[in-house]
Each structure stands twice: as structure tokens, then as C-alpha cells.
Structure 1
Amino acid sequence: MAAIELDALTWPQVRAQIDAGRDTVVLALGATEQHGRHLPLATDALLGDHLARMLADRLDAFHAPTLRVGCSEHHVGFAGTMSLSESTFHAVVGDLVRSLLRGGFRRIVLVPTHGGNFAPLAAAVSKLDERQSVTALTDLGVLFQIAQMGEREYGVPLAEGGLHAGEWETSLLLAIHPDLVAMEHAEPGFTGDLQDALKGIFAEGGVAALSENGAIGDPRRATTEHGERYWSAAVDLALEQIEAAAREATTTRAPRHS
């Protein structure tokens, strides 16, 4: 069955679906921040909308409105970037989870689509009394797996795939919103070692100290075809994490027999 758009229904319609057994909701945690000269500030939120909707399709679940501002302090200074402090982000995540559970949902799937949200999300969920009802995808390694796919299948070096507004992220947006991608302005940003980039992004000075244009990678080889392949892999990788978390939760809750 198709995903149910949570905000398109009345509350009695939502309640009826929950009572019928559709009690899972998928919520993406995106950002509004710079993405180089060629991608819009809404990139992470748009990717979140799409990924959460596809996951909700596969899980027969509700798709909640994406949180469109996240922890983007390392991008502040680039015009238009908006950011929450980690303490505020923790509070927002907690409030959203509790409100959805109070409304009858039994399972909340949280999907970060901005790199800066992964660690704060893990910390936020660890503090929740309700964490057994939450599945949070907090493995940042998924991003590296997509970059490695670009190298393996399309010959795109890891440095070009990058971490931010590089080949793979640009390809993902080309596949769903080509009208918002300005490939005529695509240009390389920081194209050094990705581990060095990951350390530098969160150091003093943030992304601006690494890349004048804000990109970590080189987007010029991005294509719609690549993006469609990356989307297929991203959904499969996310579902693997969700299923693994569900198995772990079942094992944790299983009664012990002496």
C-alpha cells in the first residue's frame, strides 16, 4: 500500500487508520542550509521528504511532515542557513516523538537526511523514556556506502562523491527535483581526503574553512541515472537498518525463561 500523508488527513481519519493497525509513522529530519552554488538550501529537507515517503510506502506506514531545520552550525555564515542548537534539537525530537505516541502511534521511525543530525539524533533518542518505541537511523556510514557505490559503479572517486553537495547528493536531487539543480553553476569544492573533511567540518570555522563555495566534493559528474541508482540503494540500506533495529528490539523485549 502507498504511504499515508499524515498532514493531508483529518484527525478522525488518522485515528481510524491507527485502529486498523497502521500505527507506524516515518519522520525525516532535514535541514535548511547552504549546498554549494548549484543546490537549494532545501536540499536535505527535499531528500528527507522523498526518502521518508519511500520508506513509508515499503513499511505501509504514515509519512509525517519533514523537520526542515536541524543542527547546521557548521554551515552558519553562508547566507540563508538556519540552525538549531543541539539542546533545542533534542527537545524538538522528544516533543515530536511524545506527541505522536500520545496520539496513538506505536512506532516512530526517525530518518536523518542531514549529516549534522546523526549524532544529535542518537543522543536525543538515548534520553527518551519512550525510546523502545523509536527506531532512529543514526549510522552515518550509509553516506559513505553511497559514495563508495559511485566509485564502484560509475568510476567517481570518493573525493568527488564527497560529503556535501558533491556527485552523489547532486545526483539524488537531480533524480527527484531536476528543476532545482543549477548544473551550470556546479563546481568542485573541497576534494581532499573525506576523513580529513569530516574532521574539518566540525572544527572551528566549519565548512567555510574548507570550501569557499560550500561544497565537499565535485558535483560535475552527477546525473539523473546515477541518482535513481543511489535512491534504490539508499532505501534498501535504510530498510536493512530498520529491520535490524526491529529484530534487536524483539530480542530485548522477549521474556526470559529459567
Structure 2
Amino acid sequence: MDMQKLTYLEFQEFISKKPIAILPIGAVEAHGPHLPIGTDNYLAERLSRKVAEKVDALVLPTFSYGQVWSLRNVPGSINVSNEHLTGVLTDIGKSLYKFGVRYFVIINTHVGNMTAIKEAARNLYDFYKDLKVFYFIYPGTAKITKEVRESKPMPGGYFHACEIETSYMLYLAPDYVKMDKALDDFPDLPEDFEYTPTPWDEITDTIVLGSATLATEEKGQKIIDVAVETIVKILEKTK
């Protein structure tokens, strides 16, 4: 159920019967020459809808801005600090709790958001012991991703606008993918890349980490189906 299409009375009625709300959260950042700046938002929103259909949950308007420090120097990227993001997510959770939500599900598609999301979840835990906050980012997909991947993974598991993320988009939001502009790029990461802040514009001109040309809708569907199944299974065990 799409929250923003409801009246406040319809919202109140829904929550009184199903006190579960899903917040899709993505980011505004560059995703190479073949994917839109809003890639993470499209993925979060459409993944959330698939989950909501199976657990009969309310889907909040997508929170479209995230922590994109690594790409903040690339045109089109909009960076929000962890402190601000934590505060906003905490406030959203407080509002939802006030009106009866007891299961706050955050479906995130941007790795950079996780620090702030976890901090907000901990804040809400301290405020409301009867509010269950979940945060998911493609859970349970490591095995299937390894099975469908044809390209070599980047060191440290980094991926961006690559075979995997482009496959997600080909499945969930194909109208926004420009496969004729897809390319492969495996930039040499500095030895200390994982251990010190490194703006990505210093290591790549394409903003692609991996092989986008190998992406397919079928690969995306296989991985996303597992993610949805994993989330649904966890939520159904808790409710």
C-alpha cells in the first residue's frame, strides 16, 4: 500500500490493522554513463513494493538522499552527512511510532547509508522498546550473486554501476538503463583504499567499478527474488 496516496483516515485505519511501515531509502549520486543519478532510489522503491505486496505493509515515500561522501565531487551527487541522516531517520521513526507503527522496516540500496541507519535504529531502540526496527540491504544474496556473476569481483567486495547493480536495474527499472553506453572498468584501487578515506573521482573517470556490459535482467531477477524472499521470511517470523 502506497502511503502518500492515502488520506490520513485511511492511513490510520491501515496502521490500526497492520502496524508495519517500509521506508525505501537510496541516494542521489552518479552511476556511470549508463545508469541514472536516481538509481538507488528506483531500486529501493521497487524492491520495497515487492516486499510490501507479500507482507501487506505500508510503503512510505522514498527517502531520496543519502551519505555519498565518496562521490560528492562528481556532478549530480548530493551528499548528506551521517549526523543529519541519522537525525532525520530517527525523527521519521518517532512520528511513525506516535501513530501506531510497531514495525519500522528500512530497505536501503546504498551502502553509504548504513552507518546512519544503524545509529538511528539504535536511537529508536532506546526510545521505544516495543518498536522493532529492521534495516536491509539485499540480504541473503551473497551465494546467488556469486553464482550468476560472470565478471571478477572488485577487491574488498566493492561494486558500483557494474554487472550486479546494472542487472538489478534491468529487472526493476529497465526503462532507465542505457545499455548502449554500458562499459567495463576495473580501476586499480590504492593499497590503502579500505583503510583511509578516498574520493572515488581520484580512482575512476567512469564511476563504474566492474563489468556493466555483462548485466542482464535474468541475473537481476534471480538476486532480487532472493533478497525479497529473505526479507519476507524475517518479517513473517517476527510479526
Q: Which bin holds the TM-score, normalised by the shorter protein?
A: 0.7 to 0.9
- 2: distance between equivalents of 1:66 and 1:54? 14
Q: What does residue 256 of structure 1 align with?
A: none
Does the 8 A contact of 1:135 with 1:242 survive in 2? no
Structure 2 counterpart SS, 1:235: helix
Q: What does residue 254 of structure 1 align with?
A: none
Q: Which of the two has greater helix per residue?
A: 1
Does the 8 A contact of 1:150 with 1:156 survive in 2? no
Q: What does residue 2 of structure 2 align with?
A: 5
Structure 2 counterpart SS, 1:97: helix
Mind listing any 5+ residue stretches in structure 1 that lack a counterpart? 248-258
The one-character-per-residue Cα deviations of 1:75-104 (angstroms, maximum 9, x if unpaired) are 101101011111100110011111111122
Amino acid at match of 2:154: A
Residues 144-223 of structure 1: matches in 2 within 5 Å?
Answer: 146=141, 148-153=143-148, 155-159=150-154, 163-190=159-186, 200=193, 203-223=196-216
Structure 1 counterpart SS, 2:77: coil
- Does 1 or 2 have the higher relative contact order (CA < 8 Å, sep 6+)? 2
- 2: distance between equivalents of 1:180 and 1:66? 17
Structure 1 counterpart SS, 2:78: coil
Find runs of 4+ consecutive structure 1 residues off by over 6 angstroms. Answer: none
RMSD (Å) for aligned C-alpha atoms: 2.6
Q: Please point out which of 58, 61, 73 is paired with 1:65.
A: 61
TM-score of the aligned structures, taking structure 2 as reference length: 0.88
- 2: distance between equivalents of 1:117 and 1:190? 24
Does the 8 A contact of 1:146 with 1:168 survive in 2? no
Q: What does residue 49 of structure 1 align with?
A: 45
Does the 8 A contact of 2:19 with 2:100 survive in 1? yes
- 1: distance between equivalents of 2:114 and 2:30? 18
More off after superposition, 58-67 vs 100-109: 100-109
Q: What does residue 134 of structure 2 align with?
A: 136
- 1: distance between equivalents of 2:56 and 2:143? 30
Q: Structure 1 vs Structure 2: percent identity of aligned residues?
A: 26
More off after superposition, 28-37 vs 182-191: 182-191
Count of equivalent residues: 236
TM-score of the aligned structures, taking structure 1 as reference length: 0.82
Pair 1:82 & 2:78 matched: yes
